Structure 1
Amino acid sequence: MATPHRTHRPDELTLEVVDLIGAVVGRYHEEYEEAAAEHALTGAQAKLLSLLSLEPLPMRKLAQKLRCEPSNVTGIVDRLESRGLVERRPDPADRRVKLAAATQEGRQVARGLRESLRFAREPLAGLSDDERLVLRDLLRRMLGADPAQQGPSGS
């Protein structure tokens, strides 16, 4: 006879850490929406622009990263393209595939979005460099990344 599977109840410290992570995520989303609005963008437009500021991506990959339908991504890209923040270009590896890419202006707007997230910048400024490195490495570890394999800037 199999023994029943028992779930392990988290301890109080774990519950508090989970609640704190939830509070940080909530504040991040709040400020991200506010920052997007300051640039006359929706949250989805800002998120897509931020992704494209890192590298050009095909529509299907954007849809996967944003967890939405490709048709939704097409509409978002259309609106950003009409503002001159994004452009479509052929994929050099497969000319049948179109890549969406941030324009120079789009990269500047994406940088402005990141720079306007005050909630994290101000509290993080109160931590020493060593404390921020420890926090970064712990967050990477929680996300399954090996801190030793990543460069100093997180790339």
Structure 2
Amino acid sequence: MTSPPPAAITAAVTAADAVAPTPAQLMDQLAQAAAAYYRNFATVAAQRGLTLMQGKMLSLLRRPMPMRTLAELLACDASNVTGIVDRLESRGLLRRESDPADRRVKLVLLTAEGERAVAQIRAELMSELSGLESLEEGDRRALQRLLGQVFPA
């Protein structure tokens, strides 16, 4: 059996690329990407003695945040957030303080040690996601725009 000529292969690849993926195929690809990201994230967090949820909580704290908001973002019960905060606070990675606008609300914020841990986790994740670094500026803007359309803030 003979191989098809290179032009035929190119035409077949071009034709396959011309067919737009279905929304279901895109959803599957997003799910695979998310699963791969969180596998990496869990590995990087574990190297620092953190669970996936502890690492996720630290990475969410870009600004002081009420515990209730953390529970919503992590999609877990408020009592779980209290336990996670307790463990991270005992390690010196975050602290709680009262919200100046409402003393009944507890805000959670990173300590300097927590900020260092988050920076290390992000740096290691970026090294695993070298494909993001290789995107040109226009492609990064397009990806950001598309993700914003799929997942509006």
Task: Give the TM-score taking structure 2 as reference length.
Answer: 0.79
For the Cα contact (< 8 Å) 1:59–1:98, is it kept in 2? Answer: yes
Partner of 2:30: 21
Report the alpha carbon displacement of residue 39 of structure 1 after superposing the two structures with TM: 1.3
Structure 2 match to 1:61:
69
| Structure 2 counterpart of 1:42 | 51
Tell me which structure has the larger Cα radius of gyration: 2
SS at match of 1:13: coil
* CA RMSD between the two structures: 1.9
Q: Deviations over 1:106-139 (max 9, x none)?
A: 1111121122114763112222111111111111
The residue aligned with 2:116 is 108
Tell me, in whole angstroms, the C-alpha distance in 2 between the residues paired with 1:143 and 1:130: 20
Higher relative contact order (CA 8 A, sep 6+): 1
Aligned residue type for 1:49:
L
Q: CA deviation at 1:35?
A: 1.0
Deviations 1:81-113 (A, max 9, x none): 011001111111012222111111111111211
- In the TM superposition, residue 17 of structure 1 has moved relative to its aligned partner by 2.3
1:28–1:119 contact (8 Å) kept in structure 2: no
- Residue in 2 aligned with 1:142? 150
The percentage of aligned residue pairs carrying the same residue is 43
TM-score by length of 1: 0.78
Deviations 1:61-98 (A, max 9, x none): 21111111111111110110011001111111012222
Output the amino acid matched with 1:59. M
Q: Which has the higher helix share?
A: 2
Aligned-partner SS, 2:21: helix
Runs of at least 4 residues off by over 3 Å: none
Please, which moves more after superposition, 124-133 or 88-97? Answer: 124-133
